[in-house]
Amino acid sequence: MNIPEEEEEIDLADAKNAVNKINKQLAEFNKKKGCDYKIDINYFYKMDKNAEVTAHHTLNPKSLVMCIFRNNICVSSMIIDYYNGAIEIFSRTKRGHDGNKLNKLLRAVIIIIGKNIHTDAAYIRSEAANPISAYLMVKYFNAEDPGGKVEFSTYEEFRKYAEKHGNLMVTVTLNDVNIENAKKVFDKILNDDDELKCTKKTRVKYDRFKHKTMQQNKDKYTLKNINRKTKRIFTKM
């Protein structure tokens, strides 16, 4: 992530107006589905002090963040940076809300409103450590990697491609075609029954004895879990 030494705040009025229009569409979804999603974009220090914000990495006060809120909890977030004509994004969905298509929704929104944030932005750039995030960008938003357009027929095929090439830096060109495509993807997410959900998964109770047995019998599994990085939740004080 490229962070200038001193980055001035930008005027978010246009971006907020664009988000307000999107929230009107979300309100219709909420009414039909009995949900309460709402999107906000702001600098971290300006967000509601009582809001709980889950992020990809440590937030500084002037981090620009877009969140999907539910009950004042940011259930999916996107940190937004800007560097050399590219909007760089880093997203994370709160545990228990994964699988609800929230990350896909945020990625559609950032493409739709990208030029409302930075009028001279030419690209959306995403360094996807998780193959699924890169897969979403390539399959639904016409993203390309540095080598050009990625061709694949299944997620498994794409996953092998991603493993071979490491963390993929994929980009979406902010042109009329891709922005209109993102709007269509957004509409589909709201209107198709198999897309956006507002459920929360119940976490399975931790069984220490069972986990110990799995560690003893599956060395590879053990190593993978020991090395797993802990996600953090940052709450404004």
Whole-number pLDDT of residue 6: 46
CA atoms within 13 A on the CB side of 172: 34
Q: Positive or negative CA dihedral for 89, 95, 97, 101?
A: positive
Res 35: pLDDT: 93
Compute the residue count for the chain: 237
pLDDT of residue 59: 74
CA end-to-end distance (rounded Å), the chain:
25
How far apart are the C-alpha atoms of 198 and 179, rounded to whole Å?
A: 26
- Per the DSSP assignment, residues forming a β-bridge with 128 are 168
* The predicted structure's pLDDT at residue 21: 97
Q: E strands of the chain, at which residues? A: 38-43, 52-54, 64-70, 73-83, 86-93, 123-128, 144-145, 148-149, 168-173, 233-235
Tens digit of each residue's pLDDT, the chain (237 residues): 444 444 578 999 999 999 999 999 999 999 999 999 999 999 999 988 888 887 666 677 888 999 999 999 999 999 999 999 999 998 888 888 888 999 999 999 999 999 999 999 999 998 766 777 788 888 899 998 776 677 777 888 888 877 777 667 889 999 999 999 999 999 999 999 889 998 776 554 445 544 444 444 433 322 333 333 333 333 343
Specify the pLDDT at position 58: 67
Angle at 85 between CA 80 and CA 91, to 5 degrees: 20
